[in-house]
Structure 1
Amino acid sequence: MSLFSRSLFFSFLLFSISPLAWGQQDQTAKPQTVAPAPSLTLQEAIKIGLENNYGIRLARTDEQIVSNNVTRGNAGQLPGVNGNFTRNFTRNNVRQQLGDQDPRIANGAESNQLNANVALNWTVFDGLGMFIAYDRLKALEQQQQQITRATIEESIANITDAYYNVVRESGKIRSLEEALNIGQQRIDLTQGRVDVGVSAKVEVLTARVDYNADRSLLLQQQELLSAAKINLNNLLGRTTVIDFQPIDSIVVTTGLRAEEIVQGILDKNPRLQQARLGVDVARYERRLVRADRWPQVSLTSGYGLTRNINGAAFFGTQLATNVSRNQGLNYGVVATIPIFNGFNQRRLEQNARVIEEQSRLILDQTRLSLDAETEQALARYQNRLQLLELEEENILLARENVNIALARYRLGLLTPLDLRVAQRSQLDAEVRLLDIRFQAKQAETTLRRLSGYLVQENLPRP
């Protein structure tokens, strides 16, 4: 019998007895992987993050403070009204003497005074400073709103990336489990061939070594998955021990257009809007300083009551109590004209002009920075789309190659080393596909964040 005929005979013999042989073999134990956990979608994660994330909550409290400051009273447009009340009591020993007359003495004379008034002060002209101040407060409110929006966008982008990172790490675990399944088949097939005498025991030992190597990779991957879940829970503002199972897959949008991204940045990017509002605020502050050159005119008015009770009043030689009472309305106009304050006014105006120019430089710098970020994100996005198309084609070839290699190995037409190479090639292709898909989604998320569409798409609607 020829060598080929003998190999073919033993292969058929292996298939005929393999169920019994495998039933008698102790299956190599597989490590426990992902335990069942509650499902979590990306939208649910974003909703939880918007409610709990500490960065967003702090930004919203800052926005609330700035909004509370936008009042006409804070801008100085409304009058100030104050009430005052004073009550004094005295006890004195009084001695009066006129010329050669006998002194008039009053011991323990009691007196008291009551003073009550309501005063109004209203600045009616200050070089239009009060109106400029109100516009400045509104600009500060809008600026803080953009800061909050930027914080929300950054948080949504981070949550999105962290969520899809969990999806990626979970996918790698499934790929390793599939590799372990192939490794187990290899062990069983090799053990069967050893039992019928067509393979050496060293092949079984090699198969088990390769299987344990894949188990080690799986255990390490489980640690990476746990770290990814902890990171996402931290971004969601909840305890890191909460387990969950992501159910959304990584789906990359391939139709983003560069001109729409650029237009979105010009219209909606919160960093750019914040820089523009910074120029407006600096302009208002310069005008506010300039308004100090003008006179300030205020209206004053008040109503007061004064009552004095003097227990040591003498009428001739008689000691008596004197009571006096005054009450009435007062009003007037106060004009303050700035003349000279040690050149401080000029210094303040010069500083205000420098600050305004500085805000324009910040705006130009922000534009340049956004242009660079956009070009980098677009280049990365387009590159990852090309790689994604290549890897999606490559994974099909790798899977088909493993199927063929496994079938040939069953027939004894392939060496264990060649099967291992095919298995590793498929695992590497699976990992590369998951990484490229994640990176493409990251680039897409970055473009949506820069163009301001990320908040628009993910904020809950009333």
Structure 2
Amino acid sequence: MTIKNTPILLFLLIASAAFAQPVMDLQECLRIGLENNYDLRIVRNEELISDNNVTLGNAGFLPQVSLNSGYNLRSNNADQYPVNGEGTIETRNSNTQTLDAGLNLNWTLFEGFRIQTNYKRLKELQSIGELNTRLAVEGFVADLTAEYYNYVQQQIRLGNLQYAVSLSKERLRIVEARYQVGSLSQLDLQQARVYFNADSSLLIQQYETLNSSRIRLNELMGGDVEQHFLAKDTTILFDADLSKEELFNQAMQHNTSLLLSGKNKTLSELDLKNLRSHNYPYLRMNAGYGFTHYDYNTGTLDRQRTWGPSVGVTLGYTIFDGFNRKREQKNAEITVQNRELQVQRNKLWLESDFANMWLSYQNNIELTNLERESLHNAKVNYEIAMERYKIGDLSGLELREAQNSLLEAEQRLLTAQYRTKLYEISLLQISGKIGEYLE
């Protein structure tokens, strides 16, 4: 890339990035994403399925009623031989037509509380569907918020690099002027051009990074990935006064993953109760109303009709099933124990994650304060270096070192702010307070 073409390319990049772009804040991005994100729409539909399954009929409270009818034609040939030996009686093409219809009802009245347990299980599955949706929404809000502030970070980083290019351009102007009057060598001029090109190259790469973050944001929002917009925020602000005790208590009580593990334990307990229903007898009722019509072409009857209701009950009990009932219940008891162990394990994991996040959050707050001071010193140092360079009291290498120190200090501060924001997001997410970003 030549020095002649670099300013033109940079101008085109800046102009294309800034021209007629709408400005969006975090709440607007979240609103659009919550409506359009495909993963959220899928998990909401799955929740609707679990809602639809909570019915008395699905649990087994209601009877099954069926209606059936049929028609049969039977054609027979017969040879009959009387015992008195009077001769064979032959019957050919004897047709019998049967038409029947019936209404049947089958109803399980009692099966060891299995039906009641099934209904409770369906209600628990409905709650799990709601928690899965809540978990997906929390994860989405955390991901989009993190990516939004990454986009803010990349915008700020772009501004820092634009400023670095302007400093290199000013230095190149000074070197060219001194080279013209003979006070600097061609080596100094070439060195200034190398630095300018290097800063310009970093700026061009930063546009790529910025656009990648923008595309990822558009993907999360479920919209056109080519949509151009700017983040409204011009700095990364974080809450440095979060309460550790409050967040920890909220996490222990409202963490969605922990609540889900508790629901899984409840499901296992209901499965065990379902298996124990086999220890009881069952009572079933059946009823119906039938109609049958016969047509004959032989015999003493020409046709016959029967109709009427029927009702019956069945009381039963499984005395022996190869010890399978005992085995299944024992395994279900072990599963309940495992679910309880998983709940305790998840609590320990949550405590460990919270402790690590809180420590990192506090450390990055301190690091941010330190980097703010470093940036202030780097700015003062560069201003002094530039003044000395203008009067010829500082070499080009020393000025470049001061410029690099300034850029690095800006980048370190930005990184510390972004990392602190990420830990803030994580703390709010595991404590169930991530919805605060929607307000």
TM-score (norm 2): 0.92
Is 1:254 equivalent to 2:234 in the alignment? no
2:28 maps to 44
Matched letter for residue 55 of structure 1: D
Residue 71 of structure 2, aligned match among 87, 110, 132: 87
- Mapped partners of 2:5, 2:229: distance in 1: 30
Instruction: Report the CA distance shift for 1:456/1:245 in structure 2 as closer, same or farther (over 3 A).
Output: closer
State whether structure 2 residue 300 is matched by structure 1 residue 323.
no
Deviation larger for 248-257 or 106-115 = 106-115
Letter in 2 for 1:48: I
> 1:26-425 maps to which residues of 2 (within 5 A)?
29=7, 31=10, 32-34=12-14, 35-36=17-18, 37-96=21-80, 98=82, 99-101=84-86, 104-249=89-234, 250-313=236-299, 315=300, 322-425=302-405
Give me the whole-angstrom Cα distance separating, in 2, the residues matched to 1:33 and 1:175: 15
| Aligned counterparts of 1:239 and 1:108: Cα–Cα separation in 2 | 77
Measure the CA separation in 1 of the matches of 2:47 and 2:339. Answer: 21
- Summarize deviations over 1:304-333 as a string: whole Å, max 9, x none: 1111111222x4xxxxx5211111111121
What are the superposed Cα offsets for residues 340-390 of structure 1, whole Å, 9 maximum, x if unpaired?
100010011011101101111110111011111101110111111111112
Q: Kindly state the Cα deviation for residue 430 of structure 1 after the two structures are TM-superposed.
A: 1.0
- Look up the equivalent residue of 2:71 and give its one-letter code: R
User: CA-atom RMSD, angstroms?
Assistant: 2.2
Instruction: Give the length in aligned residue pairs.
Output: 429
User: 2:425 and 2:368 mapped to 1: Cα distance?
Assistant: 16
State the SS of the aligned residue for 2:57. coil
Provide the secondary structure at the position in 2 that maps to 1:73.
helix
> Is the 8 Å Cα contact of residues 36 and 221 (structure 2) preserved in structure 1?
yes
**1:384 and 1:355 mapped to 2: Cα distance?**
42
Counterpart amino acid of 2:48? Q
Structure 1 residues not aligned, in runs of 5+: 1-24, 316-320
Preserved contact between residue 252 and residue 347 of structure 2 (Cα < 8 Å): no
Q: How far is the alpha carbon of 1:260 from its aligned partner? A: 1.2
Structure 2: distance between partners of 1:407 and 1:218: 25
Whether the aligned pair in 2 keeps the contact of 1:28 and 1:184 (CA below 8 Å) is no
The structural deviation recorded for 1:97 is: 5.2
* Bigger Rg over Cα: 1
Q: Using the TM superposition, give the Cα deviation of residue 298 of structure 1 relative to its aligned residue in structure 2, in angstroms.
A: 1.3
Query: What is the distance in 1 between the residues matched to 2:110 and 2:241?
Result: 58
Q: Mind listing any 5+ residue stretches in structure 2 that lack a counterpart?
A: none
- Please say if residues 261 and 447 of structure 1, whose CA atoms lie closer than 8 Å, have aligned partners that are also in contact: yes
* Identical counterparts, % of pairs: 33
CA distance in 2, matches of 1:28, 1:62: 53
Q: Deviations over 1:171-225 (max 9, x none)?
A: 1111111011111111112222223333333222211111111112112222222
Measure, in 2, the Cα distance between the counterparts of 1:193 and 1:26: 19
Change (3 A) 1:27 1:286: closer
CA contact (8 A) 2:25 2:232 kept: yes
Moved more, 224-233 or 247-256: 224-233
Instruction: Classify 1:337/1:199 alpha carbon distance in 2 versus 1 (closer, same or farther; 3 Å).
Output: same
CA distance in 2, matches of 1:135, 1:175: 60
Task: Find the aligned partners of 1:33 and 1:161 in 2 and give their Cα distance.
Answer: 26
